[in-house]
Amino acid sequence: MTAGRFQGKRVLVTGGTSGIGRATALAFAEAGADVVLSGRDEARGAEVVAAGAAMAGKLFFLAADLSDSKAVAPLVEAAAERLGGLDIAFNNAGFQERRASLAEQSPETYDQVFNMNLRAVFLAMQAEIKIMLANGGGVIVNNGSVSGLRNPNPGLALYCASKAALLSLTRSAAMEYAGQGVRINAVSPGRVETPMMMAAGVGDRAAVAASLPARRLGRPEEVSAAVLWLASEEASFVFGHNLCVDGGFLSA
């Protein structure tokens, strides 16, 4: 990674205490950005801040539970206040239900999935866009999923539907703000080894890895590299794109 690539940039990473969010927050800080990461677990947040203490950019943690709709805009506003503005946002916080057939899922689980994976991102984008428009522009990257495009494994219908809606929201917002200096895209991980994936019941990891053309699971750092590219000037002509980091899953 080029040192100083994001020097002076102000970044918000939601769901930044583990997995892809943690890797992305640290990658931005290593590249010179000042980063606010959010999450519900203060101990994990402190651990990420400590892990990046020697990096070029500064890391700050703000506790927030984005399943509470009333917490979303205040988080974005607090992050911008802490950083002195907002140039880049990675809307990463998400929730995946335990695997079960659709008829066995409850309305409460539906609300959990869609409140976190769609409503929270919608509310975050509203707040981020307002701040970025006032400051002359910015970049938003939403964390989607290949499950929003294709998922041959049963049991995650709600997650798949929420991510499909998120990708559609991303494209629509990208077209609305492309001419106003706010560039919006998505990254869609495939089978990446994260705590959320493990908690949802992935089953036999070796079998899952063997089913991919790459013959292995992905690493959070491989997704964070894609996020940083989408957020960089190297991707300045990329609008409304969904960059899949999936080990060949969608091509198989």
The catalytic residue positions are 159
Pick from 11, 112, 105: which is nearest to 66 by CA?
112
Give the strands of the sheet with 88-91, arranged side by side: 59-63, 34-39, 10-13, 88-91, 138-143, 182-189, 242-245
The identity of residue 228, as a single letter, is L
173 close to 184: Cβ distance less than 8 angstroms? yes
- 9/32 Cα distance (integer angstroms): 8
Are β-strands 242-245 and 10-13 bridged in parallel, bridged antiparallel, or unpaired? unpaired
- 156/154 Cα distance (integer angstroms): 6
Residue 166, phi-psi category: left (phi > 0), alpha (psi -120 to 50), beta (remainder): alpha
Residue 162, phi-psi category: left (phi > 0), alpha (psi -120 to 50), beta (remainder): alpha
Cβ count near 170 (within 10 Å): 25
Are β-strands 34-39 and 182-189 bridged in parallel, bridged antiparallel, or unpaired? unpaired
**Which 8-state DSSP code applies to residue 249?**
G
